[in-house]
Amino acid sequence: MSHLEKPTSADHSEALKNRDTSISDLYQESIRKKIFLFGVLFLFLLVLIVYAIAVGYYDMSLPGIIKTLLGFGDGSGNIVIWNIRMPRIVAAIVTGCALGLSGVAMQSLLRNPLASPFTLGVSHGAAFGAAFSIVFLGAGMTAGSTIRMTGVEGLMLKNVYMVTLCAFLGAMIATAVILLLARLKKMSPESIILAGVAMSSLFTSGTILIQYFASEVEIASVVFWTFGDVTRSSWPEIGLLTMVTFAVIVYFVFVRWDLNAVSAGEDTARSLGLDVDRFRLYGMLLAALAASLATALHGVIAFLGLLAPHIGRRLIGADHRFLIPYSCLIGALLLLLADTAGRLIVGSGTLPVGVLTSFMGAPLFLYLLIRGLKR
């Protein structure tokens, strides 16, 4: 039906001809602005990365950093950058990406602006699963082989796949409960979050209970789970997280139009040709997967998955074609910023980044509640 293409009244097409720019042009200009802003934020992330590499106990000069990154560094420079700072930086970036992505997907799929892995209890479920596998299934921790500055940071997972799997299963329990409640009861967004609160405290209690069965080394790590920390993983683990996160990003980029459709309402999405129930199930599974792996490796990082999409919406609106990459990038930026700040505030470098994201996220959460969830 190409008849839609020609405007009805003659003066309209005339008006269109006489104007310098058509609506499509204006629209495409607004799109270019969003891409440009993304580039600016990305540059900012790059600067932050270089800064995060440079600062710390062992001060490094910019030429020194560049040399080391290119593979011509000296011994101590190599160790500081490749074994200490870079893993932490990359871990922060990928974890931030995973949580921001998971948050934006959950908010859209559940049509709930308060949704995120943290507020729905998905992160806590993952932490519980990870702790369970470490203490009971022998996936536990050993003193790390890599050179680290402090004892606790030197812990490494013996069996990262087992921990990941159990974290995913724990996250799945929480996700399944949320999905069931959302589907069966048609609960309000606030009620869903209350269910999330109930589950987080249940899982947290479970995690604490597990500590009674754990050895000292295990306890040290499990305790850290209550507040996320990006210093605990080494390259192979970070590599796994990166691959999974990337795969999930690719999926959600593919279905960006479907996320827009779901955000417009269930009936609308169905009439636009989307199988809403199936999409919601798959989407929530994958969102939970990304969040659970990030949590398995780095603990419960509060509110980041809530924060990143909302900042994204403020910047460029709710179009998921842009909101997905923006949420990933903002999540990465925020977590690296928080981690670097935490590193500088507390000299020893052990202030868990989850504490700082809590300070950023809790006020936003309260603000969203007070504003009354208006879309």
Partner 1 sequence: MILKVNGLEFTYHERPVLKNIGFELKKGQIMAVLGVNGAGKTTLLKCLNRILRLRMGTVFLDEENVKDMSRNHIAKHFAYVPQKYEEEPLTVFDAILLGRRPYIKWEATSHDLRIVEAILYRLDIEYLALRPTNQLSGGEMQKVIIARALAQEPEVLLLDEPTSNLDLKNQLQVMQLVTKAVREHNMAAIVSMHDINLAFRFVDHFLMLREGRVHLLAPREEVTAQDIEKVYGVKVILGDVDQYKIVIPVNENSEGAL
Binding site for partner 1 (CB under 8 A): 1, 3-8, 12-13, 16, 22-24, 26-28, 30, 108, 111, 257-258, 260-261, 263-265, 267-268, 270-275, 317-319, 375
What's the min distance (Å) between Cβ of 124 and partner 1? 27
CA distance 111 to 265: 8
What's the min distance (Å) between Cβ of 318 and partner 1? 4
* Angle at which helices 353-371 and 304-316 cross, to 10°: 60
What's the min distance (Å) between Cβ of 43 and partner 1? 25
Between 213 and 257, name the residue whose CB sits nearer to partner 1.
Answer: 257
What's the min distance (Å) between Cβ of 320 and partner 1? 9
Sequential DSSP letters for 15-69: HHHHSSS-HHHHHHHHHHHHHHHHHHHHHHHHHHHHHHHH-SSS---HHHHHHHH
Taking a C-beta distance cutoff of 8 angstroms, is the pair 110, 178 a contact?
yes
Between 33 and 158, name the residue whose CB sits nearer to partner 1.
Answer: 33
- Estimate to the nearest angstrom the gap between the alpha carbon of 372 and the chain centroid: 24
What's the min distance (Å) between Cβ of 7 and partner 1? 4
Between 313 and 343, name the residue whose CB sits nearer to partner 1.
Answer: 313
CA distance 160 to 134: 10
Taking a C-beta distance cutoff of 8 angstroms, is the pair 189, 372 a contact?
no
The residue among 44, 54, 124, 52 whose CA lies nearest residue 288 is 124
Identify residue 337 by its one-letter amino acid code.
Answer: L
Between 34 and 88, name the residue whose CB sits nearer to partner 1.
Answer: 34
Between 265 and 363, name the residue whose CB sits nearer to partner 1.
Answer: 265
> Within 13 A of 141's CA, how many CA atoms are on the CB side?
25
Between 165 and 368, name the residue whose CB sits nearer to partner 1.
Answer: 368
What's the min distance (Å) between Cβ of 2 and partner 1? 9
